[in-house]
């Protein structure tokens, strides 16, 4: 019987597969990885050249695109389109608000928030942004460091995700369109043509960007563990240890995604948010509480007041990417914006998957304002503590970073070492890195499975496990071969096309929601045919 069940499940997997998207995404990724393994120097030079071109010649496009997305999200929150329901008028949200927020936040922020928490602000404290004109390691530099950290991880990052999520959810739950990235261009190419070449291209790019983003993050999380073992215990693991660490992480998130949204992803997300709150509160209480509040408040005020300036600041170079100013903007802001764009496909698709029954305003407010409101205290606490420890001499975090070749993965360990209960905090820190990664990896694996099955809400378990194993194997291969940095750059480059896709998504929403009177009248007529008594329900959205 089990053999028959296995054959049936495998048959279901083969039947649901979109061979074009799956095949091209897999082959392109394999070719890129092979290039970095077989000819790493040439591949690195080519990739760095492309990144240099993007920074120096097209950096303005990343900045302007992200700024426009933030402005549009603010309009969605406060404008008349906020009441539009992502689903039938009587549809209720599938998850409670807290469960919904826990999954959304855990999927979107990833493990990067954990190891960049104590690291990014101290980097900016040592080398302030040219925009601030602050002296290195001064009080002004401390405020500027947190301000720019808030900027890089706040409204802008989350706006890209929400802009992708809302049109997919709207068309999927109101027009029965497939749950995939190419649904965004449905109004342009026609919903009957979502199996055409343009739609396939969009989905293939989404697969490539997602694989690159998650495999890179998996490698970085593995690096966090390896650095922790070496820093705290002097244990240096070789290639075998690296593979074992990444294999363990892969098994964890593959089990989570195989269990599905409610049994796997939701439970891990809830645990993750609880632990996140505990670690934040512990460092806030045990650390320099008054300093965190004082500097964090000033930084938040600067972030709000100078948001437009920071969003459009390119530096003093002729092309916006040359000179010290351009180096800072390119190495930090443009890097982050491209990275968020490359993550937008799978995070946006996952948010769409869990947003049935919610309104546009609810999704935008939860995905951008609420997520930023949770992110800011974390970076204020971790970054503020890191700066305070450095300034008072309680921990030489900058010295540790220098001795470790400025590997951001090491920044948290001297910080926790200087706090009471440092060993316990270090353990919790590592667990938090793991759970944040698992929640991002399992949601991205689900998104990959959806993309490669033509948009199925519940892809087969075999499909999910295959993608989980593929990303784990890819990350292990890259870590051992030294190609993680290369794939990270590939993911950044993949963010370029998705900057365009997000702008198209915004334009599609303007066209669709702006002309929603005719759309809703058509839906109203359909409702009258089947439920005459409910004919007035749709029109309330135009009030």
- Yes or no: say if 520 and 514 are a contact pair by the CB < 8 Å rule: no
User: To which residue do tokens 């930084």 refer?
Assistant: 299
CA distance 129 to 145: 8
Taking the domains of the chain in order of start, what are their residue ranges?
17-514
Q: How far is CA 535 from the centre of its chain?
A: 40
Question: How distant, in Å, are the alpha carbons of 219, 411, 512, 538 from that of 272?
Answer: 20, 21, 37, 38
CA distance 80 to 33: 47
Work out the end-to-end distance of the chain between its first and last CA atoms, rounded to an integer number of angstroms: 58
Instruction: Supply the DSSP symbol for 334.
Output: I
85 forms bridges with which residues in the sheet?
359
Rg over alpha carbons for the chain, rounded to the nearest Å, is 23
- Yes or no: say if 157 and 341 are a contact pair by the CB < 8 Å rule: no
CA distance 324 to 331: 10
Q: Which is nearest to 180 in space by CA: 414, 503, 455?
A: 455
Question: How distant, in Å, are the alpha carbons of 19, 51, 216, 508, 524 from that of 454?
Answer: 10, 32, 25, 21, 29
Burial readout 95-128 (b: 16 or more C-beta within 10 A, e: otherwise): beeebbbbbbbbbbbbbbbbbbbbbbbbbbbbbb
Burial readout 482-505 (b: 16 or more C-beta within 10 A, e: otherwise): ebbebbbbbbbbbbbbbbebbbbb
- Yes or no: say if 442 and 201 are a contact pair by the CB < 8 Å rule: no
**Tokens, residue 503:** 């702008």
Q: How far is CA 234 from the centre of its chain?
A: 32
State the 10-residue block means of pLDDT for the chain, 543 residues long: 50 68 76 71 76 77 94 96 91 89 82 82 93 90 96 94 96 90 93 89 82 69 73 70 71 62 69 90 96 97 96 66 60 85 86 93 96 95 96 92 82 89 87 75 72 72 74 67 58 77 94 68 47 42 38
Instruction: Supply the DSSP symbol for 135.
Output: P
**Tokens, residue 163:** 């802009």
Which CATH topology does 17-514 take?
Amino acid/polyamine transporter I (1.20.1740)
HEC profile for 54-101? HHHHHHHHHHHHHHHHHHHHHHHHHCHHHHCECCCCCCCCCCCHHHHH
Reported residue count of the chain is 543
pLDDT of residue 110: 65
pLDDT of residue 268: 77
CA distance 421 to 90: 51
Instruction: Supply the DSSP symbol for 531.
Output: -
Residue 18 gets the label, from left (phi > 0), alpha (psi -120 to 50) or beta, of beta
- Yes or no: say if 412 and 112 are a contact pair by the CB < 8 Å rule: no
pLDDT of residue 230: 77
pLDDT of residue 1: 42
CA distance 344 to 119: 24
CA distance 278 to 288: 17
Task: Return the axis-axis angle of helices 139-153 and 289-305, rounded to nearest 10°.
Answer: 60
CA distance 218 to 474: 9
């Amino acid at each position: 019987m089990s053999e028959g069940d296995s054959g049936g499940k495998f048959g279901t997997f083969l039947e649901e597969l979109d061979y074009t998207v799956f095949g091209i995404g897999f082959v392109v990724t394999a070719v890129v990885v092979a290039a970095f393994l077989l000819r790493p120097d040439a591949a690195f030079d080519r990739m760095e050249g492309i990144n240099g071109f993007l920074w120096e010649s097209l950096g303005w496009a990343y900045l302007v695109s992200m700024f426009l997305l933030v402005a549009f999200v603010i309009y969605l929150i406060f404008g008349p389109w906020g009441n539009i329901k992502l689903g039938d008028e009587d549809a209720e949200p599938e998850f409670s608000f807290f469960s919904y927020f826990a999954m959304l936040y855990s999927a979107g922020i990833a493990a990067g928030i954990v190891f960049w928490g104590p690291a990014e602000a101290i980097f900016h404290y040592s080398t302030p942004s040219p925009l601030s004109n602050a002296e290195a390691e001064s009080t002004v530099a401390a405020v500027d460091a947190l301000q720019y950290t808030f900027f890089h991880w706040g409204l802008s990052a989350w706006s890209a995700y929400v802009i992708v999520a809302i049109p997919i959810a709207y068309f999927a739950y109101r027009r029965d369109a497939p749950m995939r990235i190419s649904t965004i261009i449905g109004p342009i190419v026609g919903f009957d043509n979502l199996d055409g070449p343009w739609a396939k291209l969009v989905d293939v790019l989404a697969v490539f960007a997602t694989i690159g983003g998650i495999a890179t993050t998996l490698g970085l999380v593995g690096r966090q563990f390896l650095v922790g073992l070496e820093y705290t215990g002097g244990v240096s693991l070789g290639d075998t240890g690296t593979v074992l660490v990444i294999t363990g992480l892969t098994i964890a998130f593959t089990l989570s995604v195989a269990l599905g949204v409610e049994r796997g992803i939701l439970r891990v997300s809830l645990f993750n948010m609880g632990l996140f709150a505990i670690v934040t509160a512990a460092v806030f209480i045990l650390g320099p509480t008054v300093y965190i509040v004082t500097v964090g408040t000033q930084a938040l005020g600067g972030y709000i007041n100078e948001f437009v300036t920071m969003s459009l600041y390119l530096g003093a170079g002729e092309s916006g990417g040359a000179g010290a100013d351009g180096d800072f903007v390119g190495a930090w802001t443009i890097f982050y914006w491209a990275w968020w764009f490359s993550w937008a496909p799978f995070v946006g698709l996952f948010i769409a998957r869990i947003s049935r029954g919610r309104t546009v305003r609810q999704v935008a407010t939860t995905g951008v304002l609420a997520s930023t409101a949770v992110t800011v205290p974390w970076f204020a606490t971790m970054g503020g503590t890191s700066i305070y420890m450095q300034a008072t001499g309680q921990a030489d975090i900058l010295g540790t970073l220098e001795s470790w070749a400025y590997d951001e993965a090491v920044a948290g360990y001297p910080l926790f070492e200087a706090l009471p209960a440092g060993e316990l905090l270090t353990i919790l820190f590592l667990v938090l890195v793991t759970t944040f990664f698992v929640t991002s990896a399992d949601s991205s694996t689900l998104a990959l499975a959806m993309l490669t099955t033509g948009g199925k809400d519940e892809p087969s378990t075999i499909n999910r496990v295959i993608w989980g194993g593929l990303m784990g194997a890819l990350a292990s291969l890259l870590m051992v071969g030294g190609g993680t940095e290369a794939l990270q750059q590939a993911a950044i480059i993949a963010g370029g096309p998705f900057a365009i896709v997000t702008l198209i998504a915004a334009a599609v929403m303007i066209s669709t929601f702006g002309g929603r009177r005719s759309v809703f009248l058509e839906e109203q007529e359909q409702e009258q045919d089947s439920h005459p008594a409910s004919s007035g329900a749709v029109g309330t959205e135009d009030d």
